[in-house]
Amino acid sequence: MKKLSFLFLLLQASLFAAAQQSFQGSGPVFSPEIHGDNTVTFRIAAPQAGKVQIMSDFLPTQKYPTPFGEIDGPGMADLAKKENGVWEYTTPQALTPELYSYAFIVDGVRVNDPANVHMVRDIGVVSNVFLIGGGQADLYKVDDVPHGTVSRIWYHSPALGLERRMTVYTPAGYETRDERYPVLYLLHGIGGDEEGWITSGRAAQIMDNLIAQGKARPMIVVMPNGNAALEAAPGETSTGYTIPTLFLPKTMEGSFETAFPEIVEFIDRAYRTKADKRHRAIAGLSMGGFHSLHISKQYPDMFDYVGLFSASIMPDPKVKSPIYDDFDRKLDRQFAKHPALYWIGIGRSDFLYQINADFRKKLDARGYKYVYFENDGGHVWRNWRIYLSTFASQLF
Amino acid sequence: MKKLSFLFLLLQASLFAAAQQSFQGSGPVFSPEIHGDNTVTFRIAAPQAGKVQIMSDFLPTQKYPTPFGEIDGPGMADLAKKENGVWEYTTPQALTPELYSYAFIVDGVRVNDPANVHMVRDIGVVSNVFLIGGGQADLYKVDDVPHGTVSRIWYHSPALGLERRMTVYTPAGYETRDERYPVLYLLHGIGGDEEGWITSGRAAQIMDNLIAQGKARPMIVVMPNGNAALEAAPGETSTGYTIPTLFLPKTMEGSFETAFPEIVEFIDRAYRTKADKRHRAIAGLSMGGFHSLHISKQYPDMFDYVGLFSASIMPDPKVKSPIYDDFDRKLDRQFAKHPALYWIGIGRSDFLYQINADFRKKLDARGYKYVYFENDGGHVWRNWRIYLSTFASQLF
């Protein structure tokens, strides 16, 4: 009988073998440590390192050189070497409520925090995450409220000639009730995929919390893959563990928009939806805002609610697709039907700010009604989470 | 118009800002590179590092010291420094087909491969993964076959007083057909959670491929969280981004087994199941095998198929629960009802080998029919994927 307890301990030990390797005698490291006052300490055991930095969106933005000029990116700070080869950094002030992401740079190598298993892939970059609760950020928590279901489901696309994957959120109770629900189609940006809104975007937590607070109606949220040449997110396709890339074929050239009614038909067949315009919304970030704009004006009887989050507006003039023909005439036709909500959100430092201002001028000149939401910041998930929360509260 | 194209490029650049940081002038690094002959090259840019190693299950197992003695763990090999500060290792031979996991150790710090976004968390350790196709390992691929849906769904547990999360696989076509399906309940090991079988276990790919090949019947696979004190996997609960741990309360002390009928009732309500013993199977690895053994004998009219994968058998004698009382009498009652399949799988170097041999002796002595599967290797996912593939092919 004593033998059994020993085996149990041995099992426990074996499961930690790989993990222990990383401690290299320095003992387990706790990181990030969120203190009671919302300052945060980050730690990494790196006894042989000469320099360790942290790179995060809680630090002041800094400039990065790119082939296209300098652009804003996450700030950086130095960690200090402590006992046992553990490096440490504590924020000088309390962090404001937010879902933050970070990575360490150890002697020039960008690495994830070995003590923090919580990571999110955004396109081709994996970062650790942590959450400072309070205010808006409480919407991003898995709170003690009824939870919806998140499904990865495949549909057949005759138009694109592919089996394709999407992420679908159904509100709490969907499986055990008989109700029908309205549907929000929620689209990702360039280089993104059907995982973006549910991971970086915290869409399930935002919807769970808004619905529980009575601030949004129970709804289905459909997050398809907006890259018309792809089956699914990297690693989830028959091409294997591919490298995420921004340079995808068949993107923003009309294919996805043309094929979109297939997705709506599939959802109306596979789920208990309220299958009419009055109960359908479409929204997206960046390229997804562009898709939402062009899909909603191409099919003016499909969506009564449209959300453009930091949206790209006009197609590349070199691209030829019937989708992009007659922009103004299609817009006229769409607005003649008085959409229940046409919502535009953008940050003041977003590089797409001006083209959104231009688009608003066009809408204003034609006397078209829309709701405009402007805030600080740029082309980042922090803003898109705010836009989703705000937009979803105004639906149906 | 030219301005728009520039904005498009700028958008692309901004999305790569964080990633570029990691290259530090060495240019993008491609890793792992799987060559045509199934040798593999691993690379990491670490110009300032003094030593870089790879730790992986494709390398010969090595011994690790633990407080409980030496145990087997992943092997290690040195990378060599090449041009531009990029370190490289190429396997001397072709790798045999398998889903492999690995990490780098840079100057003593265990880090994930910055060039490979494909990672899997196993309990508290995150490793990169790659797949060498062929043979059994082809079952682990996302292949060009119809795909089932994978859902994370919550249920209310009155017995445990929690909202709890589980992962559910429904076979391709579930949403658009009217059929009812048999159900396999598939349980994880100690420290694991409802994510283990779908990530490390490749359960969705195995089921998709077996079903497409006609080797398994279409079935629902339910993967609950076997830790009775927990709502869900780390980071998916109302306690926030917690640290995975093996030292959980209410584990292997009867609570999970006692509450199990709630899960079956919920599944039969939420899904189109064939809700009888003949169409229910239960299987699990290690602690999950222990759970499968004790649940199936506690409720002898619930499951006609039982699978013990590298299972723990007997409870800790210090634990008191009615679940573990009358072991032999309950086993007699279960086998008197002639289960359609009682399946035991274990590896020859598994540290639980002997206690499984003892259990088989007991079954033999009583003349109870079971199917026994023995293979090389130990207490690892490589074996559990084989056991799932083999077991699922024999169900219903």
Of A67, A241, A270, the CB nearest to B131: A241
> Tokens 């099992």 identify what position?
A11
Looking at residues B102-121, what average pLDDT do you find? 94
Asked if residue B383 lies in contact with residue B284, where contact means CB atoms within 8 angstroms, the answer is no
Angle at A165 between CA A160 and CA A169, to 5 degrees: 130
Cis peptide preceding A171, ω within 30 of 0: no
Q: Which of B42, B71, B117, B318 to mutate to test the interface with A (most CBs of A within 10 A)?
A: B117
The mean predicted confidence, pLDDT, of chain A is: 92
Question: Which pLDDT score, from 0 to 100, does residue B17 have?
Answer: 47
Instruction: List, as own/partner pairs, every contact residues B228-232 make where C-beta atoms lie below 8 angstroms and the sequence separation is at least 24, other chains included.
Output: B228/B160, B228/B253, B228/B255, B228/B256, B228/B259, B229/B160, B229/B255, B230/B162, B230/B164, B230/B193, B231/B162, B231/B163, B231/B164, B231/B165, B232/A142, B232/B154, B232/B164, B232/B165, B232/B193, B232/B194
Q: How confident is the model at residue B270 (pLDDT cuts 50, 70, 90)?
A: very high
Angle at B10 between CA B4 and CA B16, to 5 degrees: 150
Query: Which residues are CB-neighbours of A350 under 8 A, at least 6 positions away?
Result: A310, A356, A377, A378, A379, A383
d(CA A22, CA B57): 16
Angle at A179 between CA B266 and CA A283, to 5 degrees: 105
Q: Is the pLDDT of residue B23 over 60?
A: no
Q: How confident is the model at residue A141 (pLDDT cuts 50, 70, 90)?
A: very high
Q: How distant is the Cα of B275 from the closest Cα of chain A, in angstroms? A: 16
**pLDDT tens figures, B190-224:** 999 999 999 999 999 999 999 999 999 999 999 99
The phi and psi torsions of A197 (rounded to 5 degrees) equal -65, -30
d(CA A72, CA A56): 12
Of A47, A118, A232, the CB nearest to B108: A47
The answer to whether B111 contacts A111, with C-beta atoms less than 8 Å apart, is yes
Which of B56-65, B278-287, B305-314 is least confident?
B56-65
The answer to whether A314 contacts B4, with C-beta atoms less than 8 Å apart, is yes
Q: Which two tokens stand for residue B87?
A: 């370190």
- In this complex, is the C-beta atom of B15 within 8 Å of any C-beta atom belonging to chain A? yes
Question: Which pLDDT score, from 0 to 100, does residue A24 have?
Answer: 39
Q: Which two tokens stand for residue B24?
A: 């530090």
Where in chain B do CATH 2.60.40.10 domains reside?
18-133
Question: Which pLDDT score, from 0 to 100, does residue A65 have?
Answer: 73
Q: Which two tokens stand for residue B323?
A: 């679940």
Assigned architecture for domain B18-133: Sandwich (2.60)
Question: Which pLDDT score, from 0 to 100, does residue B19 have?
Answer: 45
Which of A163-177, B210-224, B231-245, B292-306 is least confident?
B231-245
More confident residue, A262 or B249: A262
Chain A: residue whose CA lies nearest to B144: A238
Of A5, A85, A112, the CB nearest to B112: A112
Q: Is the pLDDT of residue B184 over 50?
A: yes
The answer to whether A316 contacts B4, with C-beta atoms less than 8 Å apart, is yes
d(CA A264, CA A159): 13
Question: Which pLDDT score, from 0 to 100, does residue B61 have?
Answer: 87
Chain B: residue whose CA lies nearest to A72: B14
Using only C-alpha atoms, chain A has a radius of gyration, in whole angstroms, of 23
Percentage, residues of chain B above pLDDT 90: 83
**pLDDT tens figures, A244-292:** 877 788 999 999 999 999 999 999 999 999 999 999 999 999 999 999 9
Q: How distant is the Cα of B305 from the closest Cα of chain A, in angstroms? A: 26
Q: Is the pLDDT of residue A111 over 50?
A: yes
Looking at residues A134-145, what average pLDDT do you find? 97
Question: Which pLDDT score, from 0 to 100, does residue A7 have?
Answer: 47
Question: Which pLDDT score, from 0 to 100, does residue A68 have?
Answer: 61
Question: Which pLDDT score, from 0 to 100, does residue A67 have?
Answer: 64
Where in chain A do CATH 2.60.40.10 domains reside?
24-133
Q: Is the pLDDT of residue B1 over 70?
A: no
Per-position DSSP letters for B43-63, written without gaps between them = EEE-TT-S-EEEEETTSPPEE
* Chain B stretch 270-329, residues whose beta carbon is closer than 8 A to a beta carbon of chain A: 270-271, 286, 312, 314, 316-317
Q: Is the pLDDT of residue B150 over 50?
A: yes
The mean predicted confidence, pLDDT, of chain B is: 92
d(CA A310, CA B41): 40
Kindly state the DSSP code that residue B182 receives in the 8-state scheme. -
d(CA A291, CA A7): 57
d(CA A211, CA A207): 6
Q: How distant is the Cα of A312 from the closest Cα of chain B, in angstroms? A: 9
Of B44, B191, B237, the CB nearest to A15: B191
Looking at residues A40-54, what average pLDDT do you find? 96
Q: How confident is the model at residue A242 (pLDDT cuts 50, 70, 90)?
A: confident
Q: Is the pLDDT of residue A23 over 80?
A: no
Asked if residue A153 lies in contact with residue A170, where contact means CB atoms within 8 angstroms, the answer is no
Kindly state the DSSP code that residue A322 receives in the 8-state scheme. G
- In this complex, is the C-beta atom of A355 within 8 Å of any C-beta atom belonging to chain B? yes
Range A140-392 has CATH code 3.40.50.1820: yes
Question: Which pLDDT score, from 0 to 100, does residue B2 have?
Answer: 38
Question: Which pLDDT score, from 0 to 100, does residue B396 have?
Answer: 97
- In this complex, is the C-beta atom of A357 within 8 Å of any C-beta atom belonging to chain B? no
Of the candidates B109, B107, B113, B68, the residue with the CA atom closest to the CA atom of residue B89: B113
Of the candidates A248, A222, A235, A237, the residue with the CA atom closest to the CA atom of residue A166: A222
Looking at residues B109-119, what average pLDDT do you find? 94
Encode B323-358: b = buried (16+ Cβ within 10 Å), e = exposed.
bbeebeebbeebbeeebebbbbbbbeebbbbebbee
Where in chain A do CATH 3.40.50.1820 domains reside?
140-392
> Tokens 């409980």 identify what position?
B68
The answer to whether B73 contacts A126, with C-beta atoms less than 8 Å apart, is no
Per-position DSSP letters for B304-318, written without gaps between them = SEEEEES---SPPTT
d(CA B208, CA B205): 5
**Residue A345's beta-bridge partner residues?**
A309, A373
Of A68, A144, A176, the CB nearest to B13: A68
H helix or E strand, kind and range, residue A73: strand A69-73
The three-state secondary structure class of B326 is coil
Q: How confident is the model at residue B27 (pLDDT cuts 50, 70, 90)?
A: low
**pLDDT tens figures, B329-368:** 999 999 999 999 999 999 999 999 999 999 999 999 999 9
The answer to whether B7 contacts A355, with C-beta atoms less than 8 Å apart, is yes
pTM above 0.90?
Answer: yes
Topology of domain A24-133, CATH: Immunoglobulin-like (2.60.40)
- Burial tier of B60 (Cβ tally within 10 Å: 0-12, 13-18, 19+): exposed
For chain A, how far is it from start to end, CA to CA, in angstroms? 62
Of the candidates A182, A172, A181, A168, the residue with the CA atom closest to the CA atom of residue A145: A172
Q: How many residues does chain B have?
A: 396
Q: Is the pLDDT of residue B66 over 80?
A: no
Chain B residues touching A102 at Cβ < 8 A: none
Q: How confident is the model at residue B73 (pLDDT cuts 50, 70, 90)?
A: confident
Q: How many residues does chain A have?
A: 396
**pLDDT tens figures, A226-238:** 999 999 999 999 9
Q: Which of B9, B21, B174 to mutate to test the interface with A (most CBs of A within 10 A)?
A: B21
Q: Is the pLDDT of residue B21 over 60?
A: no
The answer to whether B142 contacts A240, with C-beta atoms less than 8 Å apart, is yes
The answer to whether B117 contacts A244, with C-beta atoms less than 8 Å apart, is yes
Question: Which pLDDT score, from 0 to 100, does residue B67 have?
Answer: 65
Q: Which two tokens stand for residue B61?
A: 């197992």
Asked if residue B52 lies in contact with residue B137, where contact means CB atoms within 8 angstroms, the answer is no
> Tokens 């994978």 identify what position?
B150
Encode A188-219: b = buried (16+ Cβ within 10 Å), e = exposed.
bbbbbbbbbbbbbbbbbbbbbbbbbeeebebb
The answer to whether A44 contacts B317, with C-beta atoms less than 8 Å apart, is no
Kindly state the DSSP code that residue A343 receives in the 8-state scheme. E
- Burial tier of B136 (Cβ tally within 10 Å: 0-12, 13-18, 19+): middle
Q: How confident is the model at residue A74 (pLDDT cuts 50, 70, 90)?
A: confident
H helix or E strand, kind and range, residue A256: helix A255-270
Chain A: residue whose CA lies nearest to B63: A17
